[in-house]
Structure 1
Amino acid sequence: MELKETAVKRREMLLITAVALGTLLNPLNTTMISVALARLQEDFQLTFADVSWLISTYYLASAIGQPLMGKWSDLFGRKKVFMLGLLLVTLSSSLAPLSPSFGWLIGFRIIQAMGSSALFPSGMGIIRSQITSNQAKALGIISIFSSTSAAFGPSLGGLLLHYGDWPLIFICNFPFIIGSFLLAWKVFPKDPKTAGRAADMDWPGVALFSATIFMWLLFFLSLADGLSLWKLIVGAGLSFWLYRYELRQSKPFINVAFLRKNMNVTRIYVQFILTNIAFYSIMFGIPSYLQRVQMMDPQKTGLVMLSIAGFSVLVTPLVGRWIDRSGSKPPLIAGTASVVGGSLLLLLIQDQASAVTIFLVLCVLGIANGFNNLGMQTALYDFVTKEETGIASGLFMTSRFIGTILSSSLLVALFGKNITTPHLHSMAWICAGIGVLMLALTVRMPRGNMRKGVE
């Protein structure tokens, strides 16, 4: 009996590892490219506004791909969709280094985003179906693993650029792909026969959601040149149309009825959008600033950015114990307050600042990231039942990508034509304001009382 339990636990750990290696590919590739932006600008003769499309299109494809691939995994089989995702990432990672132009590189990044977007929802679905005890803990591990890998992206990207060039950022995916593929092939159960058909998809909902996200992206990217009233009106109109349409569907692409019914969860999504605006503005803005203004090479930039990743990892176990004792709210208050404090500390950075000063300032933002990531994920599971975990996790990741899209738009508005220390300080004030909003939402958050329902 004991041997059987050991074998089951070993299989579950291998299954979690397979999913974790796959799910880290999306956030890792989201941020690894940040250190290469300056190099890509030189290579393809681009402005920061031009090269930012490499970020924006990846976010756009991910925001659409996450719920789309989640629906496909339910219809056609989670193992099939997971493997398909790995194959798409393999294809894009193989071809991107050979891109003859910047347009081709954007195309391969979109394929990479769609492939990596398949891994989180299908992987989460497999874990939910195969791990019956401590399921929320397993889902939390994957979510944390996924979020933490984003923080390590700039550091890894900096090292790769130091020892090679930007193509290495794509080639380094292969160890993760191979490890995930071999483990998934071995431990994932065969997909049951499904009656799913492509016609079962809410294709009008997919089209409306895609058009809405794309229009808001165009609106925010155009803010650098002034307010575009027609884009604002079209974006708002499409949002209202999407809401009304999906509310009437029995199998909607975006379950707005779930959002309307669970207002605490909806507020968590709003807060997670704000969290990602601040986090990704810093993760993409700081590396370009360090290389353009502080004249750091990619390796030194990556080492300085390691402060965010390192302190995120260091505080996560401490935050976990604090959450176990006191719930999600107190750590989230500390995390959101740290966003405000860390953003204001960026104002201390001047031209020709020492690397140590910048490192110490970013440490505070790393601590904030550790608090907020785990705090937001556990807060989500406080307010959803076990049966709602799948839909809640999918919308949680969609919220993340909406936040990242907004962060790229903010950076284009600030850094699109020139990167200077005053522009960095403007970003700091905006992130501090976002932190204040996050703090206000956290203070109003009720203490979760459904923990037993999701365990």
Structure 2
Amino acid sequence: MEIRQKWLMVAVGLGILLNPLNSSMIAVAIARLQQVYALDFATVSWILFSFYITSAIAQPVMGKASDLFGRKRIFLVGLVIAGIASLLAPFSATFGWLLVCRIGQSIGTSMVVAVGIAIVRHHVTEKQGTALGVLALFQSTAAAIGPFIGGVLIHWWDWPSIFFVNLPFALASFLLVWKMIPHDEPSTSVTRQLSLRQWIALLDIPGIALFTAGLVALLIGFFQAKSAGPLAYGNVILGGIGLVILAVFIRHELRVSSPFLPLRAFAKYRAMTWVHSEFVLVNVVFYAIFFGLPVYLQTVRHVSELHTGLLMLSLGLGSLIASPLAGRWIDKSGPRPALLVSAVLMLFGAVWLAMLNPASPVISVCVALAAFGVSNGLNSVGMQAALFRSTPKEIIGVATGLFMTARYAGTILASLLVGLILQAKGVVLFAAVLFLLALSLLFINGRRKSLGQPGES
């Protein structure tokens, strides 16, 4: 990889780490925000929920925008929005204004993530596995150490510091991207002469509105049903309305000439569709562990929050170690072997969890966490490499955005899995479900003949 390309990776990496950093760092600030704004946990938890739901919607939207207007431009605008939101958040007089800043932060960082990976796809043409390993390292590091950084910052400088810390990263990324990445032109040069109606059709504003309304209703229904219990019929109805709206969205997308999500392309390029579907399952398994193991350690094994955090480092360190190694491996052998090994490690981790009992040493949990961590490192690079190989260049932006939406779909399903199974039925059934999901991933990758060029199945 050339020196210029290495600096390009640093420039993009400093930008894309903002999303996982802010999605993990805020978790340790919940208790402090409850005190500051005198609110209950359910209300303050919307600062987490709003970030996830906004990211799930914004990333494919911004991917579409980048395909039309140029990736560098969208990336830089995203950094500006994230920087402004981070600068204003500490001065929020009410929790509502803080929530608005948090949503702005999510939109800005989503623009950066959706476009950053597409920039690498276009400007790094050799050793893309290594390049993806570097990006995954930025993301994994931010996610792994986010809670630790947040705890230290809040301890010494209170909660506003977790927003101010974004500013040097955003500024450094902006300057490097401005200098290192060539200016790109929109894929449709005729856009300058379009009327308002033509702009609406080109951007597919009705499709974006349907997608947003359907996904918001569905996710709020899921989240509220999880917290309200099995008899929360109103939330079930809301989730059902979301599914109906999404069905209308699919019908709309199949009929318009410039769809927001190229569903016909997903039908045509089956390998790309499989990659997105598989990525949902991968994230269900990983985030079930990410959310579930702390619950198990604190409620069943009565481990303190400090020691739980230290034990969970096994998960993050496994990802950090595996990501760059996975990049080199995938450059040589392609993504399929790495994904197969990842599924095997998931199976091992699930079996190890099922074997735990109240007499097992707490440190033994680290074995399972390390297995899932290494698996996540292999998946982070392997799935993105598979996406690159299976997606045509002309739709890589929106495909990458939807790829990130698949991550959040997995996160949400994992949260439900933890609430409905781990807390209610115990760790053995929880581990059994993870085992079945890992077995499905092993079966999918074992039967797949290739993860190669667009159009392959």
- Correspondence 1:435 to 2:438: yes
Asked whether the equivalents of residues 52 and 408 of structure 1 are also in contact (C-alpha less than 8 Å), the reply is: no
1:11-61: CA deviation from partner (whole Å, max 9, x where unpaired): 332222111110111122122233444555566566655444322221111
1:95-140: CA deviation from partner (whole Å, max 9, x where unpaired): 3334444433332221111000111233344445544555675456
- Correspondence 1:245 to 2:252: yes
Residues of 2 paired with 1:385 and 1:324: CA distance?
19
Match among 319, 323, 335 for residue 316 of structure 1: 323
Residues of 2 paired with 1:75 and 1:407: CA distance?
34
- Secondary structure of 1:118's aligned partner: helix
Residues of 1 paired with 2:315 and 2:67: CA distance?
36
Asked whether the equivalents of residues 311 and 367 of structure 1 are also in contact (C-alpha less than 8 Å), the reply is: yes
Residues of 2 paired with 1:346 and 1:271: CA distance?
23
The alpha carbon displacement at 1:334 in A equals 2.3
Residues of 1 paired with 2:376 and 2:178: CA distance?
34
The alpha carbon displacement at 1:237 in A equals 1.7
Asked whether the equivalents of residues 272 and 387 of structure 2 are also in contact (C-alpha less than 8 Å), the reply is: yes
Q: Which moved more, 1:395-404 or 1:131-140?
A: 131-140
Asked whether the equivalents of residues 48 and 412 of structure 1 are also in contact (C-alpha less than 8 Å), the reply is: no
Residues of 1 paired with 2:448 and 2:145: CA distance?
30
Asked whether the equivalents of residues 134 and 323 of structure 2 are also in contact (C-alpha less than 8 Å), the reply is: no
Q: What pairs with 1:156-167 in structure 2 (closer than 5 Å)?
A: 156-167=149-160
Residues of 1 paired with 2:33 and 2:429: CA distance?
25
- Secondary structure of 1:251's aligned partner: coil
1:48-82: CA deviation from partner (whole Å, max 9, x where unpaired): 55444322221111111112222223334433322
When the two structures are superposed, what TM-score results if normalisation uses the length of structure 2?
A: 0.82
Given residue 230 of structure 2, which amino acid in structure 1 is its aligned partner? G
1:408-439: CA deviation from partner (whole Å, max 9, x where unpaired): 44456579xxxx69666665454344333333
Match among 55, 64, 67 for residue 62 of structure 1: 55
Residues of 2 paired with 1:144 and 1:111: CA distance?
25
- Correspondence 1:296 to 2:300: no
The alpha carbon displacement at 1:205 in A equals 0.6
Residues of 2 paired with 1:159 and 1:361: CA distance?
27
The alpha carbon displacement at 1:204 in A equals 0.5
1:203-258: CA deviation from partner (whole Å, max 9, x where unpaired): 00101111121122023224332264523432332222111111122221111111
Asked whether the equivalents of residues 339 and 445 of structure 2 are also in contact (C-alpha less than 8 Å), the reply is: yes
Asked whether the equivalents of residues 15 and 187 of structure 1 are also in contact (C-alpha less than 8 Å), the reply is: yes
- Correspondence 1:105 to 2:98: yes
Give 1:399's aligned residue.
406
Distance 1:349 1:433, change over 3 A: same
Give 1:450's aligned residue.
453
What fraction of aligned residue pairs are identical, expressed as a percent?
Answer: 40
Distance 1:232 1:421, change over 3 A: closer
Asked whether the equivalents of residues 133 and 325 of structure 2 are also in contact (C-alpha less than 8 Å), the reply is: no
Which ranges in structure 2 are unaligned for 5 or more consecutive residues? none
Match among 192, 211, 214 for residue 212 of structure 1: 214
Q: Which moved more, 1:393-402 or 1:200-209?
A: 393-402
Which ranges in structure 1 are unaligned for 5 or more consecutive residues? 1-5
Residues of 1 paired with 2:369 and 2:272: CA distance?
30
Residues of 2 paired with 1:291 and 1:18: CA distance?
39
Asked whether the equivalents of residues 154 and 306 of structure 1 are also in contact (C-alpha less than 8 Å), the reply is: no
Give 1:272's aligned residue.
279
Match among 50, 65, 71 for residue 72 of structure 1: 65
- Secondary structure of 2:259's aligned partner: coil
Asked whether the equivalents of residues 129 and 381 of structure 2 are also in contact (C-alpha less than 8 Å), the reply is: no
Asked whether the equivalents of residues 22 and 119 of structure 1 are also in contact (C-alpha less than 8 Å), the reply is: yes
Match among 64, 80, 90 for residue 87 of structure 1: 80
When the two structures are superposed, what TM-score results if normalisation uses the length of structure 1?
A: 0.83
Asked whether the equivalents of residues 63 and 400 of structure 2 are also in contact (C-alpha less than 8 Å), the reply is: no
Residues of 2 paired with 1:396 and 1:382: CA distance?
14
Asked whether the equivalents of residues 339 and 365 of structure 1 are also in contact (C-alpha less than 8 Å), the reply is: yes
Distance 1:401 1:297, change over 3 A: closer
Given residue 371 of structure 1, which amino acid in structure 2 is its aligned partner? L
Distance 1:262 1:62, change over 3 A: same
Residues of 1 paired with 2:132 and 2:265: CA distance?
20
Residues of 2 paired with 1:377 and 1:240: CA distance?
28
Give 1:226's aligned residue.
230
Residues of 2 paired with 1:165 and 1:207: CA distance?
38
- Correspondence 1:186 to 2:179: yes
1:269-298: CA deviation from partner (whole Å, max 9, x where unpaired): 111011112222333444566567745345
Asked whether the equivalents of residues 58 and 110 of structure 2 are also in contact (C-alpha less than 8 Å), the reply is: yes
Match among 362, 368, 373 for residue 369 of structure 2: 362
- Correspondence 1:376 to 2:380: no
Given residue 408 of structure 2, which amino acid in structure 1 is its aligned partner? F
Give 1:335's aligned residue.
342
Q: Which moved more, 1:16-25 or 1:26-35?
A: 26-35
- Secondary structure of 1:27's aligned partner: helix
The alpha carbon displacement at 1:174 in A equals 2.2
Residues of 2 paired with 1:154 and 1:338: CA distance?
25
